[in-house]
Amino acid sequence: MSRIGKQPIAVPAGVTVALEGQTVSVKGPKGELSWTVSEEIAVTREGDTLSFAPRDDGARGRAMWGLSRTLVNNMVVGVTAGYEKTLELVGVGYRAAMKGQSLAMQLGFSHEVNIAAPAGITFAVPRPVEVKIAGIDKQLVGETAARIRKIRPPEPYKGKGVRYAGEKVRRKEGKKK
């Protein structure tokens, strides 16, 4: 039994959920998202709650049960509160700035790195060494943050690079004389 799948999703006020076959559409104050639930899962709506249940007792049905519930819950949270990831730039001369809607970063390369914001994602630079990535799609926010981090991941000797806020970098000991 899926502990996550058994929990119903409470739909807050101001959010409308539409069920069309296996497609769940969620519309809220920040935007609209939709996702098609797997055929093995039955989605039911009772009042202001959504419930999920597997149609059969197969392994795939049980596997998709909790996943489906979590993805739809992420959509509900996304259209109400949204998601945000913060990246820190650590290193001498590492800095970020906004150029229109795109992000321009100096990361120790001989050139400036420019990143255009994907549809549904907004960048903010409150400080030159901090980048905030916000959007309503949790997967897209995380993927965008991971792609930016991949440009210059933190290295273990000096700790320089792009890291998530609060990320601990394991440091290695350098050369010995």
C-alpha span between 19 and 25 (Å, rounded): 7
Output the DSSP codes for 130-151: EEEEEES-HHHHHHHHHHHHHH
Q: What is the pLDDT of residues 80-121, one digit of tens each?
A: 999 999 999 999 999 999 999 899 999 999 999 999 999 999
**Model-wide pTM > 0.85:** yes
Determine the straight-line distance between the first and last CA of the chain, rounded to whole angstroms: 59
Looking at the structure, give the CATH architecture of the domain made up of residues 83-164: Alpha-Beta Complex (3.90)
Q: What is the pLDDT of residues 15-33, one digit of tens each?
A: 999 999 999 999 999 999 9
Which residues make up the CATH 3.90.930.12 domain(s) of the chain? 3-80, 83-164
Looking at the structure, give the CATH architecture of the domain made up of residues 3-80: Alpha-Beta Complex (3.90)
